[in-house]
Structure 1
Amino acid sequence: MEYQPGVCNIGPAQQRRRLLLGVGSLSVAAVTVALILAMGWPRWTLILSLFPLYGAAMGYFQYRERFCVGFAGIGIFDVGEGTAQVQDQEALAADRRRAVRMNTKSLAVGAVGSLVVYGVSLVLF
C-alpha cells in the first residue's frame, strides 16, 4: 500500500484504530441515549447523540476509505512504514479537501442519526 494524495493516507494498522474509534463512539451514543431516557431528561436532549454519532461515522468512513482526517490536517501519512510528512503542497491541498468532504459527510450522518433517535423516541416513548 502506498500514499495517494487525497485518496489514501493510512494503512491497515491505522485503519483498525479508526474502526475502533467508530465502534467506541457508537457505544457512547447508545449509552448517551439510554442515560437520557433513563434519567427522564427532556426529549430534545437526545439531539446530544449527534456528537458520538458523528464520531462513529467519522471512524467508519476513515476505516472504509483508508483516509485519516487528522493526518490530513497536520500534513502527515502512515501507510505502514511509520508516519511521514507530506512534502508536496498540491498533495497536502488534496488531502485537506478530502478531509473537509469527510467531515461534512460524517456530520451529516451524525445529524440524521440524532434526528432519527429523536423521532423514534417520540413514537416509542
Structure 2
Amino acid sequence: MEYQPGVCNIGPAQQRRRLLLGVGSLLLAVVTVAAVLAMGWPQWALLASLFPLYGAAMGYFQYRERFCVGFAGIGVFDTGEGTQEVADAEALAADRRRAVRLNAKSLAVGAVGAIVIYGASIVLA
C-alpha cells in the first residue's frame, strides 16, 4: 500500500486499530444508553450518546477510507513501513482538508444517531 495525499495515509495494521476504536466506541454508546435508562435519568441525557457514536463513526470511516484524521493533523502517515513525516506542503494541506471532511461526517452521524435514540425514547415512553 502506498501513501496518497488526501486519499490514503494508513495501511492494514493501522486500519485494524481504527476499526477496534469504532467497535469499542459503539459498545460504549450501548452502555451509555443502557445506563441512562437503567438509572432513570432524564431522557435528554440520552443525547450524551453523541460522543461515543461520534467515536464509532470516526473509527469506522477511518477504517473504511484508509485515512487517519489524527495522522493528518500531525502531518504523518503509516502505510505499513513505519510512521513517516509528510514533507510536501500541498500533500499536508490535502490530508488536512480530508481530515476536516471526515470529522464533519463523523460528527453528523453521531448527532443523527443521538437524536434518533432520543426520539425513540420519547415515542416509546
With normalisation by structure 1, the TM-score equals 0.99
CA RMSD of aligned residues (A): 0.4
Q: Which amino acid aligns with 1:108?
A: A
Map 1:1-125 → 2, pairs under 5 A: 1-125=1-125
Deviation of 1:124 after TM superposition, in Å, equals 1.7
Report Cα offsets for 1:50-92 as digits up to 9, x if no partner. Answer: 0000000000000000000000000000000000000000000
Q: Which amino acid aligns with 1:124?
A: L
Aligned equivalents of 2:115 and 2:86: distance in 1?
A: 38
Aligned equivalents of 1:14 and 1:67: distance in 2?
A: 9
Report Cα offsets for 1:30-61 as digits up to 9, x if no partner. Answer: 00000000000000010000000000000000
Return structure 1 stretches of 4+ with deviation > 4 angstroms: none
Q: Percent identity?
A: 82
Q: Which amino acid aligns with 1:25?
A: S
Deviation of 1:115 after TM superposition, in Å, equals 0.2
Q: Which runs of 5+ in 1 are unaligned?
A: none
Aligned equivalents of 2:84 and 2:43: distance in 1?
A: 46
With normalisation by structure 2, the TM-score equals 0.99
Aligned equivalents of 2:51 and 2:36: distance in 1?
A: 14
Aligned equivalents of 2:18 and 2:117: distance in 1?
A: 24
Aligned equivalents of 1:59 and 1:121: distance in 2?
A: 26
Deviation of 1:122 after TM superposition, in Å, equals 1.0
